[in-house]
DNA sequence: CTTCGAGTAAACCGACCGGTATGGTTACTA
DNA sequence: TAGTAACCATACCGGTCGGTTTACTCGAAG
C-alpha cells in the first residue's frame, strides 16, 4: 500500500461513511486526498474495488476495537467478558459510528449480490457471530450458538435504534437484556 | 392524488426500495410509470419530496400490516398479542422486505438531517415504539416503556440480521427472547 | 361554450458521473 | 547509469443527473 493509496483509502473511508457511497464521486475522493484520478485508478482499479477496500479496512478496525475492549482485562468471569461486547459497541458508536453500521448502510446501497463489497459485509457479521459464539462457549451455556444469535440480534438492534435516535439508551438496554439472557441460559 | 401521480408513487416505491434511492433517477421512474418528467415534477415538486412521499406511503402500509396482524384475533391474552408483532415482522420480511428496513436503508442514504424524508423515518420508528408501549401497558408489566424499548431493539435487530442473511431464524429467535422478557417483567 | 387542470412530447440546461489517455517528474534501485 | 514504480497535471470520453421550458391535447365542470 503506497502512501498515496493510503491517503485515498483514508479519505474514502470518511467520505463514504459520512455521505453514503453513491453520493461520493471518485473525483472528490482523489482531490480530497491530494491525488489524481489516475493514481486512484492505478492503485484500486475501480470504484467498486475501492468500496470493497473501504469496507475491509473498516471491518479490521472494528474487530481490533472489539477484541481490545473485551480482552483488555486479564482475569474476568466469562459471562462478564461476553457483556463487554456491548461496552465495545457503545464506545464504537460514540467515537466512530454516528451514522450507524457502515456495513448495514453499505448493504442498503449495494443491491447487487455480486458486488465485491457484499462479501466483506457478510464476513463482518459472520465474524461477530463466531466471536460471540466462542465467548458464549467459554461461559458454558447449554446452547452457545443460540445465545450468540440472540446477542447478535441485540447488538445489531441496539446499533440501529441508537443511530436512528429514537431510543437514547438502546445499547445499555440491550446489555441488560443480554445479561438476563446469559444468566438464564 | 391523480392517477398518474399514483403510478409514479407506486413505481418509485419499487425502484427506490429495490435499487436504493440515489441509484434511481427521476427519468427512470417517470418512464417506468408511463409519465413524463413534467408530470412527475408537477405532482411532487422535487425528487426529495418524492422520496418523502415514498417513505410516508411505505410507513402507512407497514402500520396497517402490523395492526392487521396484531388485532385480527378477537379475544387473546395481551402478552400473546404483544408477541404477534414478531409474526407481523416475519410476514412483512417474507412478503415485502427482502432488502431490509426501507427506513434504515433510506437513513443510510440521507445524511442530511434537514431532508424531508428524515422526519418520516423518525416518525416510523417512534410510532412502533409507542405502539409497543401501548401493548406493553395492556399486559400490565411494571415498566412498559422499558419493555417497549427492549422489544424495539429486538425487532430492529431481527430485521437487520435476517436481511443480511447471517442468521436465518433471527425473527423467531428474537420472538423467543421477547417471550422470556415479557414473562420476567 | 369556454375555461382549466391534467396530461403528453421533446428539447434543453449546466453539472457531474466513472473511467481513460497522454505526457511529464521524482526518487529509489538493480 | 539505466530502468522502473509512483506520482502529478490536464484533457477528454460517452452517458446520466435533477430540473426547466415550450407547445400541444383532452375531457370535464362551470
CATH at A19: 1.10.10.60
Q: Is B30 in contact with B39 (CB distance < 8 Å)?
A: yes
Same domain for B1 and B61, yes or no, is no
Q: Are residues A112 and A29 in the same domain?
A: no
Identify nearest nucleotide to residue A31 by CA to C1′ distance.
D8
Protein contacts of strand D with Cβ less than 7 Å away: A 2-5, 34-39, 42-43; B 24-28, 37-38, 41, 46-48
Name which of B46, B50, B38, B44 is nearest B12 in CA terms: B50
Cβ under 8 Å to A: B residues 39-98: none
Distance in Å, alpha carbon of B148 to nearest chain A alpha carbon: 10
> Three-state SS for B14?
helix
Residues B83-112 have a mean pLDDT of 97
The contacts found for A46-49 with CB under 8 angstroms, 24 or more apart, are A48/A115, A48/A116, A48/A117, A49/A116
Report the distance from CA of residue B71 to the C1' of nucleotide D23 in Å, as an integer.
Answer: 54
The average pLDDT across B24-40 equals 94
Same domain, yes or no, for A157 and A177?
yes
A73 and A162 in a single domain? The answer is yes
Hey, how many other C-beta atoms are within 10 angstroms of the C-beta on A113? 9
Same domain for A115 and A34: no
Disruptive mutation site among A119, A150, A170, A181 for chain B (greatest number of B CBs within 10 Å): A150
Total structural domains in chain B?
2
Judged on CB neighbours under 10 Å (0-12, 13-18, 19+), A28 is middle
Same domain, A60 and A12: no
One domain, residues B92 and B176: yes
Residue B74 has pLDDT above 80, yes or no: no
Across residues B80-97, what is the average pLDDT?
Answer: 97
Instruction: Please give the pLDDT value at position B181.
Output: 97
Is B70 domain-assigned?
yes
Domain contains A50: no
Residue with cell 450468540: A148
Q: What is the DSSP letter of A142?
A: S
Are B20 and B39 in a shared domain?
yes
Whether A154 is covered by a domain: the verdict is yes
Q: Which pLDDT value is given to residue B31?
A: 93
From the list A18, A160, A166, which residue is nearest B160 (CB)? A160
pLDDT tens by residue, B107-129: 999 999 999 999 999 999 999 99
Cβ within 7 A of any strand C atom: A 24-28, 36-38, 41, 46-48; B 2-5, 34-39, 42-43
- Matching residue, cell 408483532: B85
Q: Is residue A51 part of a domain?
A: no
A22/A94 same-domain check: no
Give a yes or no: residue A161 inside a domain: yes
Question: Would the CB atoms of B126 and A166 count as touching at under 8 Å?
Answer: yes
Tell me, yes or no, whether A131 and A172 share the same domain. Answer: yes
Q: What percent of chain B clears pLDDT 70, i.e. is strictly above it? A: 100
Inter-chain residue contact B121 with A22, CB threshold 8 Å: no
Range of the structural domain that residue B22 is part of: 1-45
- Give B2 to chain A, closest Cα distance, Å: 31
Mean pLDDT of B150-174: 96
Number of CB atoms found within 10 A of residue B84's CB = 18
Show residues of chain B in contact with A106, CB under 8 Å: 108
- Flag whether pLDDT at B75 surpasses 90: no
| Residue B24 pLDDT level (bands cut at 50, 70, 90) | very high
Taking an 8 Å cut-off on Cβ atoms, the answer to whether A149 and B158 are in contact is no
Are both B138 and B81 inside the same structural domain? yes
> Which residue in the set B107, B146, B170 is minimally distant from A149, CB to CB?
B170
Is residue A75 included in any domain, yes or no?
Answer: yes
Reference A62, options A89, A32, A34, A98; nearest CA is A89
* pLDDT (0 to 100) of residue A72: 86
Give the per-residue pLDDT at B72.
87
Would you state the pLDDT for residue B1? 82
Widest Cα–Cα separation across chain A: 58
Q: Tell me if B50 is assigned to some domain.
A: no
Confidence of residue B2 (pLDDT cuts 50, 70, 90): confident
Task: For residue range A97-143, list pLDDT tens digits in order.
Answer: 999 999 999 999 999 999 999 999 999 999 999 999 999 999 999 99
Q: What is the mean pLDDT of residues B152-177?
A: 97
The C-alpha angle B160, B177, B155, rounded to 5 degrees, equals: 30
- What CATH number did the domain enclosing B76 receive? 1.10.357.10
The position carrying cell 421512474 is: B29
Question: What residues contact residue A74 under an 8 Å CB cut-off, 6+ apart?
Answer: none
pLDDT at position B119 is: 97
Name the more confident of B73 and B77: B77
DSSP A54-106: HHHHHHHHHHHHHHHHHHSSSS--HHHHHHHHHHHHHHHHHHH-TT--HHHHH
Residues of chain A with pLDDT under 70: none
Instruction: Please report the residues numbered 15 through 44 in chain A whose beta carbons come closer than 8 angstroms to any beta carbon of chain B.
Output: 18-20, 22-23
Contact A159, A98 (CB under 8 A): no
Closest-approach nucleotide to residue B22, Cα vs C1': D17
Give yes or no: residues A39 and A61 share one domain. no
- Check B170 against A154: CB less than 8 A apart: no
d(CA B35, CA B180): 52
Contact A111 B19 (CB under 8 A): yes
Amino acid at each position: 500500500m503506497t502512501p498515496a493509496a493510503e491517503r485515498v483509502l483514508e479519505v474514502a473511508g470518511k467520505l463514504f461513511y459520512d455521505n453514503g457511497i453513491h453520493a461520493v464521486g471518485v473525483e472528490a475522493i482523489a482531490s480530497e486526498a491530494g491525488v489524481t484520478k489516475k493514481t486512484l485508478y492505478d492503485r484500486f482499479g475501480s470504484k467498486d474495488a475501492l468500496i470493497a477496500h473501504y469496507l475491509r479496512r473498516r471491518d479490521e478496525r472494528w474487530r481490533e476495537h472489539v477484541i481490545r475492549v473485551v480482552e483488555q482485562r486479564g482475569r474476568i468471569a466469562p459471562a462478564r467478558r461476553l457483556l463487554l461486547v456491548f461496552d465495545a459497541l457503545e464506545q464504537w458508536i460514540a467515537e466512530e459510528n454516528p451514522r450507524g453500521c457502515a456495513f448495514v448502510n453499505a448493504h442498503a446501497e449495494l443491491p447487487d449480490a455480486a458486488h465485491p463489497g457484499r462479501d466483506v459485509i457478510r464476513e463482518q457479521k459472520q465474524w461477530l457471530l463466531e466471536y460471540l459464539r466462542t465467548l458464549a462457549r467459554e461461559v458454558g451455556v447449554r446452547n452457545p450458538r443460540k445465545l450468540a444469535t440472540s446477542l447478535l440480534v441485540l447488538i445489531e438492534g441496539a446499533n440501529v435504534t441508537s443511530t436512528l435516535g429514537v431510543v437514547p439508551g438502546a445499547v445499555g438496554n440491550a446489555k441488560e437484556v443480554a445479561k438476563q439472557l446469559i444468566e438464564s441460559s
